[in-house]
Amino acid sequence: MRSQVNGDSIQYYCPVGQENEVTEDQIQTVKEMRWNTFDQFKKRASIVWIVDIPNDGDTAEKWKGGKCTCPCYLKQFICKHLIGLAIRLKYVKPPPAAKLVPIGQKRKRGRPKKATKALLVD
């Protein structure tokens, strides 16, 4: 993951989908963001997600003022990229219950149990 200090914030560039790295070409394409047709928008707008975290203030609370360019953030003002980056930078510690949730397993037969509160942050 690449990062860049931009005034009073740090911008992190997250790859989209199954990709592991972000190239400078992709970053420049997203930063310029000029398109004339909807097809160009679809192609260019979702190449790289830019997560912007403020560089000042209390480290435990500053990540909550962060921003992301993904559609989930634009609707709910919080996204998995922002939470994941906060965990990775050790601004917040995930609850132990979140580590017990199995990832990538098939559902069992029958009615599912009540949902567990894995990623709720107070």
pLDDT tens figures, 72-120:
888 888 888 898 888 888 888 888 887 777 777 777 788 877 776 666 6
- Predicted TM-score (pTM) of the model is 0.69
CA atoms within 13 A on the CB side of 115: 4
Q: When comparing pLDDT for 33 and 65, which is higher?
A: 65
**Nearest Cα to 66, choosing from 110, 1, 2, 6?**
6
Task: Kindly list the domain boundaries of the chain, sorted by start residue.
Answer: 2-95
Q: What local confidence, expressed as pLDDT, does residue 29 receive?
A: 79
- N-to-C CA span, the chain: 27
Per-residue pLDDT averaged across 15-38, rounded?
A: 82
Q: State the number of CA atoms in the 13 A half-sphere of 11 facing the CB.
A: 12
For residue 102, the number of C-alpha atoms closer than 13 Å in the C-beta half-sphere is 5
Residue 3: the pLDDT is: 79
